[in-house]
Chain A
């Protein structure tokens, strides 16, 4: 398959500028960890939110007036990638542009609020304004509307590897024809219920984070990207072999001169370190989730953006999800 990155954008807890945020990560800066409280138990939890000032302008858009943060982040990253790729959206271009949206936990804030109303006030008190925003593809719908895209729109859901699955899906659509480009976006928002659940399930790890990343895929561009469909694993003991297969599947090896890793201070780190030591032991590794936190729907695409910004010639992006797949992509600078 022939896919290239022609434009990028991201919204992170450290900011939104491509080079600026990358430089800060590279310098070792870490986004601020904030405390959120479980109102039911009073328990303090940690997360890395995106300051709303980064997406404030979008709140005035009528389409987004009832939306949750996840849609704001997705649209902001998508618009930035669209501008970076120099897309002028005419009706003809719009019809030949697809949206691929990666999501992991969905519109958690509105979902929790809506169910909270059901539990505490009764089903008859649940607000019809909240429910539509709980649907997984609501951000993709806003994204398509605000970017002016009316070609195909697909939302993919999955674990922390879903961003790479979405990238592969985009490459598939380009190969299948009928479109000239696709905007691949991953996004995540934080809520106390997610912080509680992830904390309990993973037993630690990088704080849950917010953010979004977007890449515009075309048949030509500044970086060639080799994608992989992912390798399914059913238990954690098989995750290392799965990642190694995915890494080899995109051609990682002696040529690899940098790695944008998915390490998130959980069981993933040891698995990934062992695989990288076998596949590309010579390559320096950047673990961006140590700086930006773990935003499952957005994280892998943030790694892809970091890979492209690294200035290196041949970068491996690796991701081990929590309970679905291991994925990999290879980002190669063109020219």
Chain B
């Protein structure tokens, strides 16, 4: 049951995490990439981009150890989510989730594309059974759970680009309220031609470099990846003697019905999400040390998010978008950025916002420009905002 006002809310520990991103496989490699400000955006190799404006994306390198027969039949999304879940499990083998809450936007879309292309070509290739079986979003989640020997129920949130943050936030609330003691949460998405062309058709993606919050930003580039976090009620985690990596302390969500693909220009959606997350964590804006922004580098997103951050925090809190290094991983982004936030808390550094050249005069923000900074980091806000007007923010704190 949820905590009554007289009972202090349960604290929610992160006891393990795993991440696969264009920066690499595993938290350690990703931390090195963040500290170095490594650019992991490159020419797209998975499909033809000769007729799109944008030609680049953050792509996850294939892993050689992945070549066993069963794994080859799986969608790349499954392989990424399995690797992230196994990494978390290796850190905390005693963590057995009661529930998994995972975000995604497109599941195994590229297998659906291949199935359609076979229809158009009038062929019936042998692989079509595997395409159908591995296309749907629940398959990657089932594969990851099975790979770890977990048999818990699962909830798959598809709130567009906010999915990963919504998954972590909902899991956090369930544990804090005592409805579950241990929840595995995260997100995944793999690059697909359809989604790539979709953003290109909207002219939301850029043929140039991704430059979040820069005055001359021209749009996003897509990315891919997967991340999971093991959330557990603090006392339970302490009783098991497991290392506590960080805490989730707040979650805020808002819905902006202005337009299917564009946020309200006032920034009310992002502002409400951040204000609600701070209130949930019982933190004042001045107590925040770093904001991992949604920062897609589109005119609309950065315009509204920058306005909302400036309204709440002024220029006192350092801000960066780690999408500048790896692109926008859509349903995985919020989970990956939650892991990045934990890396910042544990490593006491601020990941950089690379490709940043000129401040946008619309607001005054302390952008962590181009190189990582050493800093005292105790409290982080991580933002995700999506199509459909879904806005979500997390507050994460050091253990």
A residues with a Cβ closer than 8 A to B are: 1, 38, 40-41, 99, 103-104, 111-112, 114-116, 118-120, 122-124, 126-128, 131-138, 140-142, 144-145, 149-159, 165, 169, 172, 175-177, 193, 196-197, 200-201, 229-232, 234, 321, 323-325
CB distance from B172 to the nearest CB of A (A): 10
Q: Are A127 and B153 in contact (CB under 8 A)?
A: no
List chain A residues, Cβ under 8 A from B128: 200
Q: Are B119 and A126 in contact (CB under 8 A)?
A: no
Q: Are B194 and A153 in contact (CB under 8 A)?
A: no
Q: Are A126 and B2 in contact (CB under 8 A)?
A: no
14 extra interchain contacts, Cβ-Cβ under 8 A, other than A140-B388, A234-B146?
A: A99-B255, A115-B194, A116-B120, A123-B48, A133-B260, A137-B387, A137-B388, A144-B255, A153-B159, A157-B107, A158-B154, A200-B129, A232-B154, A323-B136
Q: For window 191-238 of chain B, which residues contact chain A by CB distance below 8 Å?
A: 193-194, 197-203
Decide: A155 near B159, CB < 8 A? Known: A115-B113, A325-B153: yes
Q: Are A128 and B179 in contact (CB under 8 A)?
A: no
Q: Are B154 and A40 in contact (CB under 8 A)?
A: no
Q: Give Cα A171 to B177, complex, Å.
A: 13
Query: Any chain A CB within 8 A of the CB of B42?
Result: no
Q: Are A135 and B160 in contact (CB under 8 A)?
A: yes
Query: Any chain A CB within 8 A of the CB of B157?
Result: yes
Decide: A123 near B155, CB < 8 A? Known: A138-B260, A144-B257: no
Q: Are B257 and A232 in contact (CB under 8 A)?
A: no
Decide: A141 near B389, CB < 8 A? Known: A157-B104, A197-B115, A229-B99: yes
Q: Are A157 and B116 in contact (CB under 8 A)?
A: no
CB distance from B161 to the nearest CB of A (A): 9
Question: Hey, what's the 0/1 contact readout for B118-148 against A, CB within 8 Å counting as 1?
Answer: 0110100000110011001111011001100
Query: Any chain A CB within 8 A of the CB of B261?
Result: yes
Residue A103 contacts which of B151, B152, B158 (CB distance < 8 angstroms)? B158
List chain A residues, Cβ under 8 A from B132: 197, 200-201
CB distance from B353 to the nearest CB of A (A): 27
The residue on A at minimum CB distance from B192 is A115
Q: Are B142 and A126 in contact (CB under 8 A)?
A: no
Decide: A176 near B153, CB < 8 A? Known: A122-B51, A156-B158, A196-B119: no
Q: Give Cα A105 to B64, complex, Å.
A: 32
Q: Are A159 and B136 in contact (CB under 8 A)?
A: yes
Q: Are A137 and B158 in contact (CB under 8 A)?
A: yes
Q: Are B156 and A141 in contact (CB under 8 A)?
A: no
Q: Give Cα A156 to B136, complex, Å.
A: 13
B residues with a Cβ closer than 8 A to A are: 1-2, 48-49, 51-52, 99, 104-105, 107, 112-113, 115-117, 119-120, 122, 128-129, 132-133, 136-139, 141-142, 145-146, 151-160, 166, 170, 173-174, 177, 179, 193-194, 197-203, 253-257, 260-261, 386-390
CB distance from B91 to the nearest CB of A (A): 23
List chain B residues, Cβ under 8 A from A1: 179
Q: Are A324 and B105 in contact (CB under 8 A)?
A: no
The residue on A at minimum CB distance from B132 is A201
Q: Are A115 and B107 in contact (CB under 8 A)?
A: no
Residue B139 contacts which of A41, A133, A323 (CB distance < 8 angstroms)? A323
Residue A156 contacts which of B142, B145, B157 (CB distance < 8 angstroms)? B157
Chain A CB within 10 Å, residue with most, of B117, B132, B170, B201:
B201
Q: Are A115 and B137 in contact (CB under 8 A)?
A: no
Q: Are B201 and A126 in contact (CB under 8 A)?
A: yes
Q: Are A126 and B197 in contact (CB under 8 A)?
A: yes
List chain A residues, Cβ under 8 A from B255: 99, 144, 149-153
List chain B residues, Cβ under 8 A from A128: 201-203
18 A-B contacts (beta carbon < 8 Å):
A122-B51, A132-B387, A134-B194, A135-B160, A137-B387, A140-B388, A153-B389, A165-B153, A172-B174, A197-B115, A200-B128, A232-B145, A232-B152, A234-B145, A234-B146, A323-B133, A323-B138, A325-B153
The 6 closest A-B pairs by CB, nearest first: A141-B388, A136-B158, A131-B198, A229-B153, A324-B138, A145-B257
Q: Are B142 and A324 in contact (CB under 8 A)?
A: yes
The residue on B at minimum CB distance from A296 is B136
Q: Give Cα A236 to B272, complex, Å.
A: 44
Chain A CB within 10 Å, residue with most, of B105, B117, B159:
B159
List chain A residues, Cβ under 8 A from B159: 137, 153-155
Chain B CB within 10 Å, residue with most, of A145, A196, A321:
A145
Q: Give Cα A159 to B142, complex, Å.
A: 12
Q: Give Cα A119 to B119, complex, Å.
A: 11
Q: Are B157 and A155 in contact (CB under 8 A)?
A: yes
Q: Are A175 and B1 in contact (CB under 8 A)?
A: yes
